[in-house]
Amino acid sequence: MNEQKVIDVKSLSVSFGNKRVLTNINLDIFQGNSYGVIGPNGAGKSTLFKAILNLIDYDMGSITVWDQDIENVRKKIAYVPQKDEVDWNFPATVKDIVLMGRYPFKKILERMNAEDHKMAEEAMIQLDILDLKDRQIGKLSGGQQQRVFLARALAQKADLYFLDEPFVGVDIATEERIIKTINQLADEGKTLLVVHHDLSTVSDYFDKVILLNQRLIAYGNTEDAFTDKNISFAYGGQLTILNKLGVTKK
Amino acid sequence: MMEILTTEWALRALAASIMVGLMCGVLGCFIVLRNMSLLGDALSHAILPGIFVAFVLFGYSTIAFFVGSALAGLVAALIISWIQQNVQTKNDAAIGIIFTAMFSLGVMGISWLNQSQGAHLDLKDFLFGNVLGVSNEDLILSGFVLVYTMLSIALLYRYLFITTFQPKIAEAMGISVKTIHYYLMLLLSFVVVASLRTVGVILVVAMLITPAATALLLSPKLKNVLVISGIIGMLSALFGFLLAYAFETTPGPAMCIVATGFYFLAALLAPKTGLISRQWVRRKESRRILAEDIIRFIDKSPGDEVSTVSIFSNISVPNYKLKAVLKSLINANLLIKSERNIALSETGIIKANNLQRAHRLWETYQHNTMGIDPELVHWEADKQEHHLDDELLGEVERKLGYPKADPHGSPIPKKK
């Protein structure tokens, strides 16, 4: 195995006000994998994303992406935030948003050219939303909305993807389409980090997992790290409920 | 009244007003979309001390006023941001504190100049505008601001779009959200100063937010919103000016009132989103449900025909509504009317069959999947039968394993 290291997180700690959200996180993320980021509510999953993306300040630690400061490599990184962070009444159409994936490649006076429009169109085709391209984003179903933001990430042709809860509030067809896209990207050698909630599908969806609950509980290959013991460690008292649902495994 | 358009002062005033309408309209869209209406108001009030300082240093000079005001606006924006980031005060409270303080300083300073220094500075002109005092210099300055603002928005369109829509994403893409914010504040200060003569600091916020809010009701596409808002801004200025002339009143407030008129027109009449069109859709929907209830009633009644009287006594909605819906059903060939009775036509029978199918499938669904008592499923199915399309019903039927009868034992008909 000669996998290239993409993200290197060293002793990362983050707090909001007086409240510690992440404590001493050490992580190496390798190329060509899809990582499921798993943990209970308030475990700091979104915070981890925002810290790596340098969108929030952190107390301690260092983070590099492809051995560099993230500011140098932002073009190659796509971020799909949680759906509840979006203003759905905004006068933006599907195509407007997917085209945003091309923004990082444009200088200030440069206009969008045919190539950019083609890439946006290809991304919309891949996620089956081309016929919705002139629709205002509030006039879409939850699944369609999620596809729009994933299509933007595809149009960006990024090498590293951060997807925050892409499966929340979407229909089954969309979930299948998204996981297919994730697997395809990983096969092409891209790296993906995906916040995921449904423990019963973790083993099917991801090669690797990051189990988090303010501290790093475990990470690595899904079959090694996603064990009963680690899950119970991450979820603490909530495990009885999980047992009932029959989602944990040997 | 058109003869005023031949006088030079009036033409100057009108040209200045229309330019202000255009730049405020376009820039205002971003102010509204960023939830910065209060900040826009604040910035316009906060420029007064800039005018005071400029007068003390350079005397009455359009250019000095312009620079002084723009700087005062930026100082206000910076102090407000600083408080918001470093002091535990709510954002809008921080804005309120700073703009009233700066406004007060400006009012005190200008009154002092007026009263004890004998300067000819009329506070009222700054508060409400003095459109008849527009000089050639003012006009040229407005022209510059207009061109500069429009060019900036056109060139920065992508950045303004994404930092307004999703600032976090913009940042993740490497766009400096802060720089765009302060540049927008700079443009806002310029536009406010250019509007000083026409509408004054108190009402400029109306020219910024009212046309923009109107345009946002009319189009779901940002580019169109900008164009529409600019046009509404110009029309508000034009009609407001004429209105003020006709009634011999102050132009600034008249422009504001015209803009507000446009806003309420759009709120009422906008296609799809307007109150009237929404009311219309609601009315159509309630008539459709009533029509289906009538068909179901005739279908369930013994015999092929039902007397008109029994329809009126059994379906409890106002008679005029019932009459209108019955008439439309007869016109649509779903019902056949004889002397005193009404029967279902052939297409009416098909419709009734499909409604019955929806009703019984939904009863079965409630009972089988949710375990609801058969006695209780009827009422809910009566409501739902109007809203189940074929696709959903097919799915329900498949999930239930193609049941033959509902929980009461009545057969579930096939779709016709």
- For chain B, list the domains and their CATH numbers: 2-207 (1.10.3470.10), 276-344 (1.10.10), 348-400 (1.10.60)
Asked if B171 and A90 come within 8 Å (Cβ–Cβ), the reply is: no
Does any CB of chain A come closer than 8 Å to the CB of residue B165?
A: yes
For A139-168, how does the pLDDT look when each residue is reduced to its tens digit (9 = 90+)?
999 899 999 999 999 999 999 999 999 998
Distance CA B66, CA B145 (A): 10
| Confidence label for B216 from pLDDT (cuts 50, 70 and 90) | very high
- Chain B residue with CA closest to A103: the answer is B158
Q: Which of A185, A207, A191 is nearest to A31 (CA)?
A: A191
What's the confidence (pLDDT) of residue A138? Answer: 92
- Whole-number Å distance between alpha carbons of B135 and B125: 14
**Is B306 strand, coil or helix?**
strand
> Given a cut of 90, is residue B156 above it in pLDDT?
yes
Task: For residue A50, list chain B residues with Cβ-Cβ distance below 8 A.
Answer: 168
- Tell me: pLDDT of A244 over 70: no
Pairs from B371-376 (Cβ < 8 Å, separation ≥ 24): B374/B407, B374/B408
Chain A interface with B: residues with Cβ < 8 Å = 50, 53, 55, 71, 74-75, 77, 79, 81, 85-87, 90-93, 96-97, 100, 103-104, 106, 108-109, 136, 139
- The answer to whether B168 contacts A55, with C-beta atoms less than 8 Å apart, is yes
Q: DSSP for chain A?
A: --PPEEEEEEEEEEEETTEEEEEEEEEEEETT-EEEEE--TTSSHHHHHHHHTTSS--SEEEEEETTB-GGGSGGGEEEE--GGGS-TTSS-BHHHHHHGGGGGG--TTPPP-HHHHHHHHHHHHHTT-GGGTTSBGGGS-HHHHHHHHHHHHHHTT-SEEEESSTTTT--HHHHHHHHHHHHHHHHTT-EEEEE---GGGHHHH-SEEEEEESEEEEEEEHHHHS-HHHHHHHHGGGHHHHHHHT----
The closest of A206, A213, A207, A205 to A231, measured between CA atoms, is: A213
Residue A34 predicted with pLDDT over 50: yes
Q: Determine the Cα–Cα distance for residues B79 and B98; give it in Å rounded to an integer.
A: 8
Residue B414 banded pLDDT, cuts 50, 70, 90 = confident
Q: What digits encode the pLDDT tens for the residues B321-356?
A: 889 999 999 999 999 988 888 999 999 999 999 999
Whether A248 has a pLDDT exceeding 70, the answer reads: no
**pLDDT reported for residue B135:** 87
CA distance A228 to chain B (A): 32
Identify the H or E element spanning B20.
helix B8-33
Predicted local distance difference test score (pLDDT) of residue B1 = 59
Q: With contact defined as beta carbons under 8 Å apart, do A188 and A194 qualify?
A: no
Q: What is the largest CA-CA distance in chain B?
A: 98
* Residues in contact with B415: Cβ distance below 8 Å, sequence separation at least 6, in sequence order: B353, B354, B357, B390, B393
Rounded-to-integer distance, Cα B4 and Cα A128, Å: 59
pLDDT single digits (tens) A50-78: 999 999 999 999 999 999 999 999 999 99
The two most distant CA atoms of chain A are separated, in Å, by 59
Tell if the CB–CB gap between A85 and B171 is shorter than 8 Å. Answer: no
Tell me: the pLDDT tens digits for A212-229?
Answer: 999 998 898 988 888 888
Alpha-carbon distance B220 to nearest alpha carbon in chain A (angstroms): 4
Average per-residue pLDDT for chain A: 89
- pLDDT attached to residue A94: 96
- Bridge-based pairing state of the strands A208-213 and A19-30: unpaired
Distance set, CA A151 to CA A97, A100, A120, A159, B90 (Å)? 9, 10, 8, 14, 37
Q: Kindly report the nearest CA distance between residue A250 and chain B, in angstroms.
A: 32
Question: Residue A190: what pLDDT?
Answer: 94
Rounded-to-integer distance, Cα B394 and Cα A37, Å: 38
Span B162-186, mean pLDDT?
A: 92
Q: Give the mean pLDDT of B14-34.
A: 96
Q: How far is A176 from chain B (nearest CA, A)?
A: 19
Laid out side by side, the sheet with B341-344 consists of B305-307, B341-344, B335-337
What's the whole-model pTM score?
A: 0.83
Mean pLDDT estimate for chain B: 90
Q: What is the DSSP string of B176-224?
A: -HHHHHHHHHHHHHHHHHHHTTTTHHHHHHHHHHHHHHHHHHH-SSHHH
Which residue from A87, A91, A139 is facing B219, i.e. has the nearest CB?
A: A91
Task: Check CB contact under 8 Å for A81 and B169.
Answer: yes
Q: What is the pLDDT of residues B299-316, one digit of tens each?
A: 988 888 888 888 888 888
> How far A141 CA lies from chain B's nearest CA (Å)?
16
Q: Is B173 on the interface with A (CB under 8 A)?
A: yes
Whether residue A1 is predicted with pLDDT greater than 50 in this model: the reply is no
Tell me which of B363 and B2 has the higher pLDDT: B363
Q: What is the pLDDT of residue A241?
A: 55
Phi, psi dihedral angles at B158 (to 5 degrees): -60, -45
CB-facing half-sphere around the CA of B91: CA atoms within 13 A: 8
Give me the pLDDT at residue B142, please.
Answer: 92
Answer yes or no: do B161 and A96 touch at CB < 8 A: yes
The average pLDDT across A187-192 equals 94
Which residue of chain B is at minimal alpha-carbon distance from A84?
B166
Q: Mutating which of B34, B168, B169, B180 best tests the A interface, going by the most A Cβ atoms within 10 A?
A: B169
Strand ranges (E), B259-349: 305-307, 335-337, 341-344
Residue B152: its pLDDT value, please?
Answer: 96
Cα(B184)–Cα(B165) distance, integer angstroms: 15
- Count of helix runs (H) and strand runs (E) in chain B: 19, 3
**So where are chain A's domains?**
5-245
Chain A interface includes B220 (CB < 8 A): yes
Tell the burial category of B345 from Cβ atoms under 10 Å away from its Cβ (0-12, 13-18, 19+).
Answer: middle
Q: Topology of A5-245 in CATH?
A: Rossmann fold (3.40.50)
Three-class SS state of B303: coil
Inter-chain residue contact B225 with A91, CB threshold 8 Å: yes
Distance CA B415, CA B397 (A): 11
Strand order in the sheet with A60-65: A19-30, A5-16, A60-65
pLDDT band (50, 70, 90) for residue A184: very high
User: B45-69, pLDDT tens digit by residue?
Assistant: 999 999 999 999 998 888 898 899 9
- Alpha-carbon distance A206 to nearest alpha carbon in chain B (angstroms): 24
CA nearest to A53, candidates A33, A30, A73: A73
Helix, coil or strand: residue B73:
helix
The predicted model gives A195-223 an average pLDDT of: 90
B215 → chain A, closest CA residue: A91
The pLDDT of residue B255 is above 50: yes
